[in-house]
């Protein structure tokens, strides 16, 4: 800890640590020094000069946001001289500020207004000069009115570290203006719409479009909750006026949120939401009452159970529900209906990687975002962090800005790969070769932690198997030269504090095992990794036992059945449960009834035409969801679901933090937990909870509070590298990669029902060609193309962008038809399909030609 010093501020003595800024020291003493350019989350620029103070003995006034305290300093923050100086600066600003507080949404929260009032400025003594800029209203999220801009530079600073680094000061005559290169609109300048600039702007120059004229600062009711898009689980504060969502912010202005977290909530209030239950009558879904729908669904499911046994029923739940709902859901199926046929979309989104990781390293190896900011070397494997898991992207960028080194392994030329020291643009599906090659180079180059590695099991076997690995084969399969891998291994191996960040849903189980091996081999940091999760509660869903093979607490069915029979007080089914793929295969014969909550397998699961066929062959399908998804359209009963913005409960984010979710508005429909209990009760299994809190209590009492499990013995896993994903052949010579985009999210159901879709080109209906393939296939930007796989074909439009290497194409995961193309063949161990790499053929023109 640094030395404590004593300073006197306005006659008050305070002890602060050496090196503290005067403005900070004053804050600790309870004194607010007016400031405009300074923001705690940013490096000081000292440009506005509003924070000037008098320091005894110093020549002239001193900017308190740049000057550090010294022992014995005597500071006066509010003398007449200081006030005069502040008044001068504010009057200058005001003479250039053509705003009207009357109609400005910042009124009441505006820092300029606040200080002008405090200093008693009625009117500027300078003559008014209207900057005369046109207000930019061209994007759906941020209204930019530079007539109100006070040139504090906060937005410029934060865009550098959290955004896309696209805005800066440009000279406009004698006066400066904030602008993108060439002063183009944000949406044409590569803006990520993280809204960080908006969050730090002290005045009304940058405002949420949605908020204009819908409620003032003091009318806003704020509720803290967690973002339910990606697995980063950022904290959100919703501002609500009259029960409607006005805006979303982080807890403090400098907290990062991505476009989805900050602007993607209008889907919650979208009129297309399902509010009333629907029952299919003569093939048409018709509105009914809640009572009637529950009764009907329960009776039909009971009939099926009676006639064909409990195991003819299955359940599927999305990995974006609260722990409480996931827990209830599996309890209802196991204890209420009596089957282990339970699965969740976690199966598609990285659950296998998590289980593998858990077995190889224990959860203790998982680091937090803060940890990432402090490492000196990062290895990113298939993780388009700034796009798919944006908060991780910011952590990585922050680490880089404090000097960390970066190795990126990714087929796609992602934004973060541009910042890499070594970028390994692998061939899609060749990760296992690349990582095996890296392992070998780490060993051969002797840049590993021998002491630690020796303590791990199978080290000798690993050495032997890597000894046999031919680098020529690695080069051939991955297209990456040995030298590059050698350099990457050296860079990574020499790091003192390292982390491997990877996209859990993009890696194969074997890739995951190789990642574990690398972290064991460089074990000095005790193997630190961050599996990036796409879904907000993937960990929680797995932990709550919403999977065939595990009870809550990731306890194996056979081992824990007795315990759960005791706690739940019922006989539990012995028969192993089926995974979603197995259920789909059995539909129409062994599986006759399904209950699906908050998930849309028709869109999400690969080979969607066959999924739709399977679901249609069921005797009875109940779907519970917020929108009428493709799956819900096939249901016999549709029960309304709610979004996380209307739910209370908890989720577990990718860092393994349990976070509290709070309803920010009154739920538009019955809550999910109540619907599950109502259905259960009607099926003669009463669960009798009175609130989400009680469910949480039960979970807690079973000691299933998710926590990291530390391990003390480790073992390497021997992996024979293979090409992952579907292999191309003569008929389907190309590889299609399905991945995330900045303004789309997973199956797109939320982003498409939000204004976010306005920023996704063609609402996600496109496929990316690199220019080489485009030339050889004679494709122009925007022209119609047909993508064909072994399962089916999709007509879409071409977008030319050098993102992937030759022979590889990219399709956004929010493309509604990508499921038609993907392969649903599953691996035998964890029963999850490698659906993100698809062998395809591509031709010009529509499908009907």
Does 47 participate in binding ligand FES (rule CB under 6 A)? yes
Quote the CA–CA distance of 784 and 847 in Å, as a whole number: 9
**35, interface contact from other proteins, ligand SF4, ligand FES, none, CB < 5-8 Å by kind:** ligand FES
* C-alpha 641, offset from chain centre: 22
Q: Please, which residue, 70 or 172, has the CB nearer to other proteins? A: 172
Residue 417 has which token pair?
A: 């790969």
Quote the CA–CA distance of 788 and 838 in Å, as a whole number: 10
Contact 716, 461 (CB under 8 A): yes
Q: Which residues contact 825 (CB under 8 A, 6 or more apart)?
A: 833, 834
Does 36 participate in binding ligand FES (rule CB under 6 A)? yes
Instruction: Enumerate residues 205-244 that contact ligand SF4 by CB under 6 A.
Output: 205-206, 227, 229-230, 232-234
**174, interface contact from ligand FES, ligand SF4, other proteins, none, CB < 5-8 Å by kind:** other proteins
Q: Please, which residue, 16 or 150, has the CB nearer to ligand SF4? A: 150
Residue 831 has which token pair?
A: 């029963």
Contact 259, 141 (CB under 8 A): yes
Spell out where 119-220 has E strands. 142-144, 168-172, 175-179, 206-208
Instruction: Enumerate residues 650-669 that contact ligand SF4 by CB under 6 A.
Output: none
Judged by CB under 8 A, the residue of 16, 93, 227, 337 near other proteins is 93
* C-alpha 840, offset from chain centre: 29
Residue 63 host element (H or E): strand 62-63
Closest CA to 326 of 363, 351, 302: 351
Does 378 participate in binding ligand SF4 (rule CB under 6 A)? no
For residue 174, the tally of other CB atoms under 10 A from its CB is 5
Instruction: Enumerate residues 146-165 that contact other proteins by CB under 8 A.
Output: 150-151
Closest CA to 799 of 781, 772, 823, 819: 781
Does 61 participate in binding other proteins (rule CB under 8 A)? yes
* Eight-class DSSP state of 524: G
Does 203 participate in binding ligand SF4 (rule CB under 6 A)? yes
Q: How far is the CB of 191 from ligand SF4 (least distance, A)?
A: 3
Start-to-end C-alpha separation, the chain: 73
Does 187 participate in binding other proteins (rule CB under 8 A)? no
Q: How far is the CB of 44 from ligand FES (least distance, A)?
A: 6
Q: Please, which residue, 156 or 434, has the CB nearer to ligand FES? A: 156
Does 355 participate in binding ligand SF4 (rule CB under 6 A)? no
Q: How far is the CB of 176 from other proteins (least distance, A)?
A: 5
Residue 4 has which token pair?
A: 């404590």
Using alpha carbons only, what angle is made at residue 324 by residues 697 and 595, rounded to the nearest 5 degrees?
140
The binding track of 462-501 with respect to other proteins, each residue x by CB under 8 A or -, is ----------------------------------------
Tokens 């002063």 belong to 183
Residue 614 host element (H or E): helix 608-616
Q: How far is the CB of 739 from other proteins (least distance, A)?
A: 41
Q: Please, which residue, 197 or 355, has the CB nearer to ligand FES? A: 197
**65, interface contact from ligand SF4, ligand FES, other proteins, none, CB < 5-8 Å by kind:** ligand FES
Does 155 participate in binding ligand SF4 (rule CB under 6 A)? yes
Residue 400 host element (H or E): helix 390-401
Quote the CA–CA distance of 840 and 728 in Å, as a whole number: 7
How many of the chain's residues bind ligand FES (CB under 6 A)? 12
Estimate the share of the chain in helix, then strand, then coil, as percent rounded to the nearest 5: 35, 20, 45
How many of the chain's residues bind other proteins (CB under 8 A)? 29
Q: Which residues contact 80 (CB under 8 A, 6 or more apart)?
A: none
Judged by CB under 6 A, the residue of 38, 689, 714, 734 near ligand FES is 38
Quote the CA–CA distance of 124 and 132 in Å, as a whole number: 18
Does 63 participate in binding other proteins (rule CB under 8 A)? yes
Q: How far is the CB of 52 from ligand SF4 (least distance, A)?
A: 13
Quote the CA–CA distance of 577 and 590 in Å, as a whole number: 12
**411, interface contact from other proteins, ligand SF4, ligand FES, none, CB < 5-8 Å by kind:** none
Quote the CA–CA distance of 388 and 740 in Å, as a whole number: 5
Q: Please, which residue, 171 or 496, has the CB nearer to other proteins? A: 171
Does 309 participate in binding ligand FES (rule CB under 6 A)? no
Angle between helices 471-478 and 431-444 (to 10 degrees): 150
Quote the CA–CA distance of 699 and 716 in Å, as a whole number: 34
Judged by CB under 8 A, the residue of 4, 117, 169, 776 near other proteins is 169
Q: How many helices (H) and strands (E) does the chain have?
A: 29, 34
**81, interface contact from ligand FES, other proteins, ligand SF4, none, CB < 5-8 Å by kind:** other proteins
Angle between helices 351-360 and 509-521 (to 10 degrees): 30
Does 48 participate in binding ligand FES (rule CB under 6 A)? yes
Q: Which residues contact 37 (CB under 8 A, 6 or more apart)?
A: 44, 45, 46, 47, 48, 50, 65, 152, 153, 154
Q: Please, which residue, 257 or 763, has the CB nearer to ligand SF4? A: 257
Judged by CB under 6 A, the residue of 140, 239, 253, 261 near ligand SF4 is 261
**127, interface contact from ligand SF4, other proteins, ligand FES, none, CB < 5-8 Å by kind:** other proteins
**420, interface contact from other proteins, ligand FES, ligand SF4, none, CB < 5-8 Å by kind:** none
Q: How far is the CB of 196 from ligand SF4 (least distance, A)?
A: 4
Using alpha carbons only, what angle is made at residue 657 by residues 655 and 663, rounded to the nearest 5 degrees?
125
Q: Considering only the C-alpha atoms of the chain, give the largest distance between any 2 of them, rounded to a whole number of Å.
A: 93
Contact 643, 229 (CB under 8 A): no
Does 35 participate in binding ligand FES (rule CB under 6 A)? yes
Does 46 participate in binding ligand FES (rule CB under 6 A)? yes
Q: Please, which residue, 6 or 125, has the CB nearer to other proteins? A: 125
* C-alpha 432, offset from chain centre: 25
Residue 247 host element (H or E): strand 244-249
**96, interface contact from ligand SF4, other proteins, ligand FES, none, CB < 5-8 Å by kind:** other proteins
Does 48 participate in binding ligand SF4 (rule CB under 6 A)? no
Q: Please, which residue, 115 or 459, has the CB nearer to ligand FES? A: 115
Instruction: Enumerate residues 70-129 that contact ligand SF4 by CB under 6 A.
Output: 97, 99-101, 104, 106-107, 110, 112-113
Q: Which residues lie near ligand FES (CB under 6 A)?
A: 35-38, 46-51, 63, 65
Task: Please report, as ranges, the residues that interact with other proteins according to CB under 8 A.
Answer: 45-49, 52, 60-61, 63, 81, 84-85, 88-89, 92-93, 95-96, 125-127, 129, 150-151, 169, 171, 174-176
Chain residues that interact with ligand SF4, rule: CB under 6 A: 97, 99-101, 104, 106-107, 110, 112-113, 148-155, 158-159, 163-164, 166-167, 178, 186, 191-197, 200-206, 227, 229-230, 232-234, 257-258, 260-261, 390-391
């Amino acid at each position: 800890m640094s030395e404590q010093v004593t300073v006197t501020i306005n006659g008050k003595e305070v002890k602060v640590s050496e090196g503290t800024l005067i403005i900070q020291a004053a804050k600790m003493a309870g004194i607010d020094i007016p400031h405009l350019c300074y923001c705690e989350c940013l490096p000081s620029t000292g440009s506005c000069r509003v924070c000037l103070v008098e320091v005894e003995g110093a020549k002239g006034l001193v900017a308190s946001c740049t000057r550090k305290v010294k022992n014995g300093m005597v500071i006066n923050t509010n003398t007449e001289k200081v006030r005069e100086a502040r008044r001068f600066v504010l009057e200058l600003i005001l003479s250039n500020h053509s705003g009207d507080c009357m109609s400005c949404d910042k009124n009441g929260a505006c820092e300029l207004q606040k200080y002008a009032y405090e200093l008693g400025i009625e009117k500027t003594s300078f003559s008014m000069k209207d900057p005369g800029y046109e207000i930019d209203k061209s994007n759906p999220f941020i209204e930019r009115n530079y007539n109100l801009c006070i040139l504090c530079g906060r937005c410029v600073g934060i865009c550098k570290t959290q955004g896309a680094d696209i805005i800066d000061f440009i000279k406009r005559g004698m006066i400066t203006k904030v602008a993108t290169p060439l002063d183009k609109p944000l949406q044409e300048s590569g803006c990520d719409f993280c809204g960080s600039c908006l969050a730090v702007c002290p005045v009304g120059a940058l405002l949420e479009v949605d908020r204009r004229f819908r409620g003032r600062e003091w009318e806003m009711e704020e509720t803290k909750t967690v973002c339910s898009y990606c697995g980063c689980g950022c904290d959100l504060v919703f501002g609500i006026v009259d029960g409607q969502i006005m805006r979303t912010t982080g807890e403090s202005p400098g907290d990062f949120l991505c476009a989805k977290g900050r602007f993607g909530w209008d889907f919650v209030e979208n009129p297309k939401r399902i509010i009333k239950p629907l029952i299919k009558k003569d093939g048409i879904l018709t509105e009914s009452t809640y009572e009637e729908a529950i009764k009907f669904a329960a009776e039909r499911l009971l009939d099926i159970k009676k006639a064909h046994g409990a195991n003819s029923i299955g359940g599927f739940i999305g990995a974006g529900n609260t722990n409480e709902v996931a827990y209830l859901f599996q309890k209802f199926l196991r204890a209420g209906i009596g089957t282990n046929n339970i699965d969740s979309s976690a199966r598609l989104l990285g659950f296998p990687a998590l289980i593998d990781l858990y077995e190889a390293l224990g959860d203790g190896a998982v680091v937090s975002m803060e940890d990432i900011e402090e490492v000196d070397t990062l290895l990113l494997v298939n993780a388009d962090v700034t796009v798919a898991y944006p908060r991780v992207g910011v952590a990585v960028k922050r680490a880089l800005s404090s000097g960390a080194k970066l190795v990126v392994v990714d087929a796609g030329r992602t934004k973060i790969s541009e910042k890499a020291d070594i970028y390994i643009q692998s061939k899609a599906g060749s990760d296992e070769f690349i990582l095996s090659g890296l392992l070998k180079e780490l060993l051969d180059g002797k840049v590993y932690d021998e002491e630690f590695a020796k303590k791990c099991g199978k080290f000798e076997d690993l050495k032997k198997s890597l000894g046999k690995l031919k680098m020529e084969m690695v080069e051939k399969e991955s297209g990456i030269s040995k030298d590059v891998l050698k350099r990457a291994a050296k860079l990574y191996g020499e790091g003192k504090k390292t982390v491997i960040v990877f996209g859990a849903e993009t890696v194969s189980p074997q890739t995951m095992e190789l990642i574990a091996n690398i972290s064991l081999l460089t074990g000095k940091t005790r193997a630190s990794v961050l599996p990036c999760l796409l879904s907000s509660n993937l960990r929680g869903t797995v932990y709550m036992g919403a999977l065939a093979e595990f009870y809550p607490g990731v306890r194996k069915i056979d081992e824990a059945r007795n315990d759960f029979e005791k706690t739940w007080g019922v006989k539990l089914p012995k028969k192993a449960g089926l995974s979603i793929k197995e259920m789909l295969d059995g539909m129409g014969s062994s599986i006759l009834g399904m209950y699906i909550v908050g998930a849309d397998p028709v869109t999400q699961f690969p080979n969607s035409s066959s999924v739709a066929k399977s679901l249609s062959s069921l005797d009875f399908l109940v779907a519970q969801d917020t929108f009428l998804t493709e799956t819900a359209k096939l249901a016999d009963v549709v029960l309304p679901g709610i979004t996380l913005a209307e739910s209370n409960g908890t989720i577990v984010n990718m860092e393994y933090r349990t976070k509290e979710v709070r309803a920010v508005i009154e739920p538009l429909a019955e809550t999910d937990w109540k619907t599950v209990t109502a259905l259960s009760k009607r099926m003669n299994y009463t669960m009798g909870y009175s609130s989400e809190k009680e469910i949480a209590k039960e979970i807690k009492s079973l000691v299933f509070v998710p926590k990291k499990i530390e391990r003390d013995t480790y073992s390497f896993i021997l992996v024979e590298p293979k090409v992952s994903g579907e292999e191309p052949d003569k008929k389907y010579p190309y590889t299609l990669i399905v991945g995330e985009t900045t303004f789309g999210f997973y199956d797109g159901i939320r982003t498409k029902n939000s204004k976010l879709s306005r920023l996704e080109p063609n609402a996600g209906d496109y496929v990316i060609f690199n220019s080489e393939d485009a030339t050889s296939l004679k494709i122009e930007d925007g022209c119609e193309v047909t993508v064909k796989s072994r399962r089916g074909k999709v007509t879409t439009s071409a977008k030319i962008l050098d993102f992937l290497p030759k022979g590889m194409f990219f399709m956004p995961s929010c493309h509604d038809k990508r499921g038609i193309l993907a392969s649903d063949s599953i691996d035998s161990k964890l029963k999850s399909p490698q659906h993100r790499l698809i062998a395809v053929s591509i031709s010009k023109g529509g499908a009907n030609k």
